[in-house]
Chains A and B, each alone.
Chain A
Amino acid sequence: MLDQDGIKMKSVESRCGWQWGLPVTFVFCTALLFAPISFAQQAKNSCLDCHSQLDPPLHVSPDEYTASIHAQKGVTCVTCHGGDPTTDDVDKSMSTAAGFKGHLERKQVPGFCAKCHADASYIRGFNPSLRTDQYAQYLTSVHGKLMAKGDTKVAVCIDCHGVHDIQPPNDPRARVYPTNVAQTCATCHADAEYMKGYKIPTDEFALYNTSVHHAALVDRGDLSAPTCVTCHGSHGAAPPGVASVENVCSTCHVFQAQLFDSGPHRNAFASLGVPGCITCHSNHGIQHPSDALIGTADGSVCVKCHSAGEPGFDAAAKMHESLAKLDSAIGRSDAILNRAELSGMEVGEAKLAQSEARDDLIKARVSIHAVQSDKVDQNVQAGLAVAQKTYQAGLAAMAERSYRRTGLFISLGITIIVLVGIALLIRRLESGSGN
């Protein structure tokens, strides 16, 4: 537009002046008028305006919806349901012309969610580390397989994740947050009426709530503790097969699995078709194990399979005896050290050494998974040696205490003699006098 001396520009400018100014202003003002409509997403959502006023099942809570991850990322009502959110006219907003899809059938839900969530390049635009194989996994799950056969009672995406209030799994408000998972699964799986006909127990939730895993997760807030999905999978949910149970448990309980594999139980269990781990510890209602679990008394798990006279029975008895021996030796040392300490004796070194004996007991208790009594004895013997030393230290401390008492009696004896002497002196001084 400019030549070297800028003459052409000037002439354009002088023409531009009012000729362009007015139309530009007019367009600008009109745009402003229509701005609210063009920013329909923030300002106008007729879907929410109506449905927040309706009763269930048509009710949608505006707070829950706006807080949900979908709303936060710009995935709105129309993304799933179609329609026109800019108008309050029901005929217009919920018309097929506007693309309104309405309520989805349950069996349509997984495939529908997968339209986005299985599209890796689409999801990458939101969260590159989010997985996109949930649908594929779902199809391998019990839920997915039954759904494919036409059973609509089984869980679909919205049953666990919610519909309009979806939060990411790491948000404590999410129904799939670790501490909430069990409750979410229990919505169906603990409902005996609902689960009639499926021929699976409905007491898992109740049992799980009594377990150490529940205590770790909910009471102690340890999010690494297992919940339903940890062992069963989430999208590909299915109970682990008999052969895989041990693999599942050993993701955390490494030592116990290694020891189990090194012992005779591995092949025995496999040949019986009996799963490892849960045969003795149960699957859902796992309790903190005690020494009573192993042995030959009532209440032990060994006698469930082994009877008197078998080598297994003898091994169980021996292992229990070893553990009990170390436990009582530690207890004996503790008792004498505490008594000595209460009397003011210095037993710090011995108490420190006691922790080593306790370590050995813990290791011994882990080593029983190899169900070989000599493996257990290795740890037990080490612990017994330490406990013996600490007991000796306790005895020495008590000897010191006796030394004190002896000293006291000696000085008491001298005191009594002095008292007798003074009494005699008083008698002598006052014999005969009125004093």
Chain B
Amino acid sequence: MGVAANIRRWLDERFGWSQLMAFVEHKTVPRHPFSYFYFLGGMTLFLFGLQVATGILLLLYYRPSPNEAFESVQYIMTQVRFGWLIRSIHSWGANVMILTAIAHMFSVFFLKSYRKPRELTWLSGMILLFLVLGFGFSGYLLPWNTLSVFATKVGTDIAGQVPIIGHWTLVFLRGGEDVTGATLTRFFGFHVAVLPGLVTLLIGFHLLLVQRFGMSVPPSVEADWKANPARVQEMRFFPNFFLRELMAWYIALAILGALAAFKPWELGAKADLFASAPPGIRPEWYFMFMFQTLKLLPAKVGPIAGDLLGVLGFGIAGAVWTLLPFLDHEKRGRGSRWIAGAGVFALAYFVGMTLVGYAAK
């Protein structure tokens, strides 16, 4: 008996290894014109793993204090061997990951994978998306440059607009009334401890549910397959689908490496808390659509402040979107078409407002 077989037997006697392997061997992925969208979830997971790895490496040199944060990032970029690579991959990777997370969400939305029995998968996924945006927001402050500090100011100001709990939220996030070194410490804690812990738990839950329910199939394909069982096509997850996913992961890593070498993430200028905001201050692209909406809203809409209306609007929209599985009941019909239409509008609004935000300097 070979060494590998011995190890397998050892694990099997204790952990039911062969049962686990049997499950993996039998896991299949449906094949249909929309199958490519199945890559998005795994890609987000891969990028998360990459963020954790590069993040841990950065942790070895980063110092979370206003006196040293900027200098430590500068040190990583210029003194540490390949520090520029690790840091740029982490910064670019964050943006790519958020992009794939949003794409994953929209693809699940349009393919209607959130329906029964997968409601909690959608719910946990939405919470994961909010946590990932929290990762982006908290991480953005850590280099402590001008853009970081002012983007954080603007972002937490908007959070403070929420009625009743707004001010408390603002003080909680900032560690005080203003953005200071206390904010940096707090955001660092969120970014490297709180959020990773929460996200890991939720990813575990999310993946467990995905394994439990298997991959869903879009309604049109499902109907077709029901009518013509011979047309059902499946691919084995391991090794077939996984090898393809591996190719996608290699491509993603290559893209990030190229970005790091050709467009390294900028260092900026060290934040000066006493300076006034530089012109053209704007948040990262994933918050741009909200920022731009608030900019376009008039100061007052009737008796309500424009900003407040915007914040409430997004809050309600977000809540409705998150609770979608519990609102979408019918299999097909007008209701489901309305929801698809709303999704198209949401996507168009998101993309459109983001572009407008960048165009309107």
Contact = CB atoms under 8 A, between A and B. Distances in A.
A426 B258 contact: no
Interface in B246-278: 246-247, 250-251, 253-254, 257-258, 260-262, 264, 266-267
A419 B267 contact: no
A343 B259 CA distance: 11
Q: For the side of the interface on B, what is the size category? A: 20 to 34
Nearest to B259: A408
A258 interface: no
A426 B244 contact: yes
A415 B254 contact: yes
Contacts of B257: 408, 411-412
Interface in A389-435: 404-405, 407-408, 411-412, 415, 418-419, 422-423, 425-426, 429-430, 434-435
A130 interface: no
Given A426-B240, A430-B240, A408 B251 contact: no
B253 A344 contact: no
Contacts of A404: 84-85, 261
Contact of A412 (B77, B84, B240, B258): B258
Given A346-B79, A435-B236, A412 B254 contact: yes
A345 interface: yes
B16 interface: no
Contacts of B234: 435
A2 interface: no
B189 interface: no
Interface of B is mostly: helix
Contacts of B77: 344
Contact of B243 (A408, A426, A434): A426
Nearest to A346: B78
B243 A425 contact: yes
A27 interface: no
B233 to A, nearest CB: 7
B194 interface: no
Contacts of B258: 408, 412
Nearest to A409: B261
Contacts of A419: 247, 250-251
Contact of A434 (B79, B233, B247, B260): B233
A422 B246 contact: yes
A136 to B, nearest CB: 51
B235, B236, B244, B254 — which one has the most chain A CB atoms within 10 A of its CB? B254
A342 interface: yes
Nearest to B244: A426
B84 A344 contact: yes
B78 A344 contact: yes
Nearest to A425: B243
B250 A415 contact: yes
Contacts of A434: 233
A412 B253 CA distance: 9
B113 to A, nearest CB: 23
Given A408-B258, A426-B243, A343 B253 contact: no
B239 interface: yes
Contacts of B236: 435
Nearest to B79: A346
B247 A345 contact: no
Nearest to B85: A404
A345 B250 contact: no
A345 B78 contact: yes
B77, B88, B240, B261 — which one has the most chain A CB atoms within 10 A of its CB? B261
Contact of B247 (A344, A423, A435): A423
A422 B78 contact: no
Contacts of B264: 342-344
Contacts of B79: 346
Interface string A328-355: 0000000000000011111010000000
Given A346-B79, A422-B246, A408 B240 contact: no
A404 B258 CA distance: 10
Contacts of A435: 234-236, 240
B244 A408 contact: no
A405 B260 CA distance: 10
Contacts of B262: 405
Nearest to B76: A344
A240 B261 CA distance: 65
A344 to B, nearest CB: 4
Contacts of A423: 247
B78 A418 contact: no
B253 A415 contact: yes
Contacts of A426: 240, 243-244
B189 to A, nearest CB: 28
A346 B74 CA distance: 9
A426 B235 CA distance: 12
Interface string B38-58: 000000000000000000000
B39 to A, nearest CB: 14
A344 B262 CA distance: 10
Contact of B250 (A418, A429, A430): A418
Interface string B199-242: 00000000000000000000000000000000001111001100
A398 to B, nearest CB: 13
B28 to A, nearest CB: 10
Contacts of B246: 422
A345 B266 CA distance: 11
Contacts of A412: 254, 257-258
B230 to A, nearest CB: 11
A390 B231 CA distance: 70
Contacts of A411: 254, 257
Contacts of A408: 257-258, 260-261
Contact of A342 (B233, B247, B251, B266): B266
Given A408-B257, A429-B243, 17 more contacts: A344-B77, A344-B264, A344-B267, A404-B84, A405-B261, A405-B262, A408-B258, A408-B260, A411-B257, A412-B254, A419-B250, A422-B250, A425-B243, A426-B240, A426-B244, A434-B233, A435-B235
30 contacts: A344-B78, A344-B267, A346-B79, A348-B78, A404-B85, A404-B261, A405-B262, A407-B261, A411-B254, A411-B257, A412-B254, A412-B257, A415-B253, A415-B254, A418-B250, A422-B243, A422-B246, A422-B247, A422-B250, A425-B243, A426-B240, A426-B243, A426-B244, A429-B239, A429-B240, A430-B240, A434-B233, A435-B234, A435-B235, A435-B240
Interface of B: 77-79, 84-85, 88, 233-236, 239-240, 243-244, 246-247, 250-251, 253-254, 257-258, 260-262, 264, 266-267
Interface of A: 342-346, 348, 404-405, 407-408, 411-412, 415, 418-419, 422-423, 425-426, 429-430, 434-435
Going nearest first, the 8 A-B pairs with the smallest beta carbon separation are A346-B78, A408-B261, A344-B84, A344-B264, A415-B254, A344-B77, A422-B247, A404-B261
